[in-house]
Amino acid sequence: SGLATGGIYASVALALVMIYQATHLVNFAQGEMAMFATYIAWALIQVGVPYWWAFAITVAGAFVLGVVVERVIVRPVENSPILALVIVFIALLVIFNSVAGWIFTYTIKPFPSPFPAEPLFGNRFMSSHEIGSMAITLIVLLLLFAFFRFTPLGLAMRAAAQNPVSSRLVGIRVGWMLALGWGLAAAIGAIAGIMVAPTVFLEPNMMGGILLYAFAGALLGGIDSPGGAVLGGFIVGVLENV
**C-alpha 219 chain-centroid distance:** 16
Residues 6+ apart with CB under 8 A from 109: 42, 201, 202, 203
CB atoms within 10 A of CB 62: 28
pLDDT higher at 162 or 48: 48
Quick: pLDDT tens for 18-27: 888 777 788 8
Which burial class, exposed, middle or buried, applies to 36 when counting CB atoms under 10 A from its CB (0-12, 13-18, 19+)?
Answer: buried
Cα dihedral 185, 188, 69, 210 in deg (nearest 10): -90
- Confidence at residue 95, expressed as pLDDT on a 0 to 100 scale: 94
* Percentage of the chain lying above the pLDDT 70 cut: 98
Averaged pLDDT, 210-225? 89
- Mean pLDDT throughout 125-153? 85
pLDDT at 120: 66
Q: Give the residue among 197, 240, 227 at the shortest CA–CA distance from 37.
A: 197
Mean pLDDT throughout 2-8?
85
How far is C-alpha 31 from the chain's CA centre?
A: 7
Cα separation, 157 vs 179, in Å, equals 10
For residue 103, CA distances in Å to 40, 58, 106, 179, 224 come to 11, 17, 9, 27, 36
Q: pLDDT tier at 1 (50, 70, 90 boundaries)?
A: confident
Write out pLDDT tens, residues 67-126: 999 899 988 888 888 888 889 999 999 999 999 999 998 899 999 888 877 776 666 777
- The whole-number pLDDT of residue 149 equals 85
Q: What is the pLDDT of residue 123?
A: 67
At 140 the pLDDT is 87
End-to-end CA distance of the chain: 10
Average pLDDT over residues 214-226: 88
Separation CA 161–CA 177 (nearest Å): 8
At residue 109, the 3 state secondary structure works out as strand
| CA dihedral for 172, 175, 176, 179, sign (positive or negative) | positive
Q: What is the pLDDT of residues 45-77, one digit of tens each?
A: 999 999 999 999 999 999 999 999 989 998 888
Residue 5 or 46, more confident:
46
Q: Is the pLDDT of residue 187 over 90?
A: yes
Residues 6+ apart with CB under 8 A from 219: 232
Under 8 Å between Cβ of 35 and 62: no
